[in-house]
C-alpha cells in the first residue's frame, strides 16, 4: 500500500472512531493483565463474563493467590484452556509479589517473563495501560494487514515490525485497536463486509478483485 493510502486509511478509521479502546473490561492495570492473559484463544465477551464475577472477589495478586488453583478455576472454567490459564495466572501473581511489589511491570522484558504472557499480551498491556505505541498482532490484525496490503508476512512478528515502520507516528497510539475492531466487525475472515467498508478503496485485495471483474 502506498504511503499516501496508508495515511488516508488510518485517517478514515480515526475520524470514525477517534478514541478506540479494548473491549476487555478492567478497572486497574492488574485486572487488564489478568483479562488479556485469559483472552488467548477466547472471545472478549467470554472473558468479560468470567472476570465480572472473578474481580468482585479477587482483583489483586494476593487475593488471586488465596483462591488457589481450584478456586480460580471455578471462576474461569467457561474460558478455553482454563486449567493452564489458572496455573499461569497464579504463577504470575506470585512473581508480581516476589519481584515487583505486587505491581505490573512496565518493561516488555519483565512482562514477557511472566508465565502465560507472550509478546502480544505484553504489547496490549504496554499500549492500553501505559500508552506506549505498540502493535499487538492478533489474528484480526494479521488478516487485515495481509489482506489490505498494509503489511505482508507469515508471522505475527513480521507483521508487527512492518506495521510499526509504515504507520504514521500520529496514528500508532491507537492503530492496533482500529485494526482489531475493523477485523472483528468488518474485514471478517470468512465473509468480509466489503460493501460497507469505509477503507475498501485503499485495500489491495478489494481493488484487485474489482479490477478483475471489469469487462
Q: Quick check: is 77 catalytic? A: no
Catalytic entry in 63, 70, 138, 154: 138
Cell of 58: 479477587
Q: Quick check: is 120 catalytic? A: yes
Catalytic entry in 49, 109, 120, 154: 120
d(C-alpha 93, C-alpha 14), whole Å: 36
Q: Is residue 54 a contact partner of residue 78, using CB atoms and an 8 Å limit?
A: no
Closest CA to 51 of 70, 80, 71, 79: 79
Torsion, Cα 56 61 65 66, to 10 degrees, reads -50
Q: Is residue 140 a contact partner of residue 177, using CB atoms and an 8 Å limit?
A: no
Q: Is residue 96 a contact partner of residue 34, using CB atoms and an 8 Å limit?
A: no
Active-site annotation, residues: 120, 138
Amino acid at each position: 500500500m502506498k504511503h499516501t493510502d496508508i495515511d488516508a486509511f488510518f485517517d478514515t478509521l480515526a475520524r470514525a472512531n477517534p478514541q478506540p479502546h479494548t473491549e476487555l473490561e478492567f478497572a486497574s492495570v492488574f485486572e487488564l493483565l489478568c483479562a488479556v492473559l485469559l483472552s488467548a484463544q477466547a472471545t472478549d465477551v467470554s472473558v468479560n463474563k468470567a472476570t465480572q464475577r472473578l474481580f468482585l472477589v479477587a482483583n489483586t495478586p494476593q487475593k488471586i493467590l488465596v483462591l488457589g488453583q481450584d478456586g480460580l478455576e471455578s471462576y474461569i472454567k467457561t474460558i478455553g484452556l482454563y486449567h493452564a490459564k489458572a496455573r499461569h495466572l497464579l504463577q504470575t501473581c506470585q512473581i508480581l509479589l516476589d519481584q515487583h511489589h505486587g505491581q505490573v511491570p512496565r518493561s516488555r522484558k519483565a512482562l514477557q517473563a511472566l508465565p502465560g504472557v507472550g509478546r502480544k499480551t505484553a504489547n496490549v498491556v504496554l499500549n492500553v495501560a501505559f500508552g506506549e505505541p505498540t502493535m499487538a498482532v492478533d489474528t484480526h490484525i494479521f488478516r487485515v494487514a495481509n489482506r489490505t496490503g498494509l503489511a505482508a508476512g507469515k508471522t505475527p512478528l513480521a507483521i508487527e515490525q512492518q506495521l510499526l515502520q509504515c504507520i504514521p507516528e500520529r496514528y500508532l497510539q491507537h492503530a492496533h485497536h482500529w485494526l482489531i475492531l475493523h477485523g472483528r466487525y468488518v474485514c471478517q475472515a470468512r465473509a468480509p463486509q466489503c460493501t460497507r467498508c469505509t477503507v475498501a478503496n485503499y485495500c489491495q485485495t478489494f481493488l484487485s478483485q474489482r479490477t478483475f471483474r471489469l469487462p
